[in-house]
C-alpha cells in the first residue's frame, strides 16, 4: 500500500511538470492508471487521488433556449425588436396600445412587459427550464438598458450603447410623433423618414456592415440569434476566418494564413441559437486543430466546415473537420477523459448551446464516433472509415 502511495505521489509530481503538454500529461496518467490498476478517475472513489479531475459543468440542453428564441421571434410585440416595422396596420395597433399615438416610450413599455412575461414562462425554479444567462442579459440590456454598469449600459461585443430605453431615442420620438424608429423600406419611403439615425456609426463584427440607424441596430440584434438564408452561417464563418472575431475577452486574429479552409453549407436551414457562442465555439475548435497540428506536422491544418440537417433525426449540425490529422488517444482513453481545451470548449461555449460529438481516425484502422457532451455517458460507436478528426455540434 505504501509502495502504491509513493508511486502515486511520483505521478502527481510528474504531472505538474510545466514542460509537458496537456496531451502528454493525460497519456502518462492513463498509462499509470492501467499499469497500477488504479480506479478510473471518473469513479467516486477517485476523490482522494492526486490525479487531475474533470472540471465539467452540469449538463444543460439547448432545447429551452431554442424554444424561447423562437417564441420571442413570433410574439406580435417582441418580434419588432428584431424586425423592421413595414406595415401601417402594425403601427396603428401598437399606437392604440400606447394610448392613441405611437411613441417609442409607449412601445418600450409594451416590449418590456411582454419580455418579462415570456421570461416567466421559462422560469427555472418554477418550471425547470434552462435559459443561458448571457443570452438573457444581452436581451435585457438591449430592451431595458439595464446593466451592472448603470452609467454606460451597452450590449454585445460591439458595446452598443443604444437600446429601447435610450433617452436620446425617446427625445427624438417626442419630436417625431407617430414615427417608428425602425421603419421598413415602404414606411420609410412613404413618410420620407428612415427612423432614428445613430449619433455614431458602428461596424458589425458579424459581417462587413455599417450600422447607421436604429433599424440597422434592430437587424444586427436579430443576427445574434437567428440564422437564415439571407443572413446565413456560411457568410459569418467566412467573415471570421478572414477578419478574426472580437469577444469581450479578446480578439482572435484572421485565420486565412494559418488554416486552409473549405466549406459545404446548406444555406436554406434556419436556426435560433446564440450565434455569438457558435462563432466562439468555431474559433475555439480551430485553435485546438492548430495546436494539435503544430505538435505533429509542419503542414497547415486542412479544415472543412459545414452546416446540414440530418435526414433521419432532423437535427441541425455544424461541423469542423480537421482533415490532415488523427486523434492522439485510444478510443477507451477518449471516452474516459477529455483534454483541457475540450473541457473549456464545453464549459464556455457548448453547454446549453448544443451537443458535441467527435468522429475520428483513432489509428490502427479504428474509426468511431464519441458523444463528448450530450448529457449521457460517453460511448463509442464504430463508423465507416473517416479521414482526420471531425467535431460535430448538434442542435
Question: pLDDT per residue over 249-290, tens digit each?
Answer: 556 778 888 899 999 999 999 999 999 999 999 999 999 999
Whether 272 contacts 69, CB under 8 Å: yes
The residue-averaged pLDDT of 134-142 equals 94
Whether 290 contacts 301, CB under 8 Å: yes
- Residue predicted with more confidence, 249 or 330: 330
Element (DSSP H or E) covering residue 116: helix 104-121
The alpha carbon torsion through 164, 168, 171, 177 (nearest 10 deg) reads -50
**Does the pLDDT of residue 152 top 70, yes or no?**
no
**pTM for the whole thing?**
0.82
Whether 154 contacts 160, CB under 8 Å: yes
- Position 304 confidence tier, pLDDT thresholds 50, 70, 90: very high
Residues 6+ apart with CB under 8 A from 198: 162, 211, 212, 213, 214, 216, 217
In three-state secondary structure terms, 234 is helix
Distance, in Å, from the CA atom of 315 to the CA atom of 309, rounded to the nearest integer, reads: 6
Phi-psi region of 375 (alpha: psi -120 to 50; beta: other; left: phi over 0): left
Whether 350 contacts 393, CB under 8 Å: yes
Alpha-helical runs (H) found in 161-232: 167-175, 185-191, 214-223
CA distances from 10 to 1, 39, 160 (A): 14, 17, 53
**Does the pLDDT of residue 25 top 90, yes or no?**
no
Number of H helices, E strands in the chain: 14, 13
The residue-averaged pLDDT of 13-17 equals 56
Q: Say what the pLDDT of residue 203 is.
A: 84
The residue-averaged pLDDT of 317-334 equals 93
For the stretch 358-375, pLDDT in tens is: 999 998 899 999 999 999
The residue-averaged pLDDT of 3-11 equals 51
| Residue 170 φ then ψ, to 5° | -65, -40
Whether 84 contacts 219, CB under 8 Å: yes
DSSP string, 8-76: HHHHHHHHT-TTS-HHHHHHHHHHHHHHHTPPPTTSGGGGG-SS----------SHHHHHHHHHHHHST
Q: Say what the pLDDT of residue 381 is.
A: 96
For the stretch 27-57, pLDDT in tens is: 555 455 444 443 433 323 222 223 334 689 9
Amino acid at each position: 500500500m505504501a509502495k502504491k502511495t509513493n508511486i502515486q505521489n511520483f505521478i502527481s509530481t510528474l504531472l505538474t511538470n510545466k514542460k509537458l503538454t496537456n496531451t502528454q500529461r493525460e497519456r502518462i496518467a492513463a498509462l499509470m492508471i492501467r499499469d497500477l490498476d488504479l480506479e478510473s478517475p471518473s469513479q467516486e472513489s477517485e476523490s482522494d487521488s492526486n490525479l487531475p479531475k474533470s472540471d465539467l459543468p452540469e449538463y444543460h440542453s439547448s432545447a429551452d433556449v431554442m424554444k424561447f428564441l423562437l417564441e420571442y421571434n413570433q410574439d406580435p410585440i417582441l418580434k419588432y425588436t428584431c424586425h423592421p416595422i413595414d406595415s401601417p396596420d402594425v403601427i396603428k395597433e401598437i399606437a392604440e396600445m400606447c394610448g392613441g399615438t405611437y411613441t417609442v416610450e409607449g412601445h418600450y413599455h409594451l416590449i418590456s412587459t411582454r419580455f418579462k412575461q415570456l421570461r416567466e414562462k421559462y422560469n427555472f425554479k418554477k418550471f425547470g427550464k434552462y435559459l443561458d444567462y448571457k443570452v438573457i442579459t444581452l436581451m435585457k440590456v438591449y430592451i431595458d438598458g439595464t446593466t451592472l454598469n448603470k452609467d454606460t449600459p451597452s450590449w454585445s461585443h460591439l458595446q452598443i450603447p443604444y437600446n429601447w430605453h435610450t433617452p436620446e431615442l425617446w427625445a427624438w420620438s417626442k419630436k417625431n410623433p407617430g414615427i417608428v424608429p425602425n421603419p421598413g423600406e415602404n414606411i420609410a419611403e412613404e413618410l420620407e423618414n428612415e427612423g432614428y439615425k445613430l449619433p455614431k456609426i458602428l461596424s458589425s463584427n458579424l459581417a462587413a456592415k455599417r450600422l447607421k440607424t436604429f433599424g440597422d441596430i434592430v437587424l444586427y440584434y436579430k443576427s445574434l440569434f437567428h440564422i437564415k438564408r439571407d443572413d446565413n452561417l456560411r457568410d459569418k464563418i467566412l467573415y471570421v476566418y478572414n477578419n478574426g472575431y472580437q469577444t469581450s475577452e479578446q480578439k482572435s486574429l484572421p485565420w486565412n494564413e494559418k488554416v486552409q479552409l473549405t466549406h459545404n453549407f446548406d444555406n436554406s436551414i434556419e436556426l435560433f441559437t446564440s450565434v455569438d457562442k457558435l462563432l466562439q465555439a468555431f474559433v475555439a475548435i480551430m485553435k485546438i486543430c492548430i495546436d494539435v497540428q503544430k505538435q505533429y506536422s509542419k503542414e497547415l491544418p486542412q479544415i472543412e466546415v459545414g452546416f446540414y440537417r440530418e435526414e433521419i433525426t432532423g437535427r441541425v449540425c455544424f461541423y469542423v473537420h480537421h482533415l490532415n490529422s488523427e486523434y492522439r488517444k485510444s478510443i477507451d482513453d477518449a471516452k474516459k477523459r477529455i483534454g483541457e481545451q475540450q473541457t473549456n470548449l464545453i464549459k464556455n461555449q457548448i453547454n446549453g448551446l448544443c451537443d458535441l460529438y467527435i468522429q475520428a481516425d483513432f489509428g490502427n484502422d479504428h474509426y468511431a464516433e464519441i458523444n463528448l457532451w450530450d448529457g449521457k455517458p460517453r460511448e463509442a460507436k464504430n463508423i465507416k472509415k473517416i479521414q482526420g478528426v471531425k467535431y460535430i455540434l448538434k442542435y
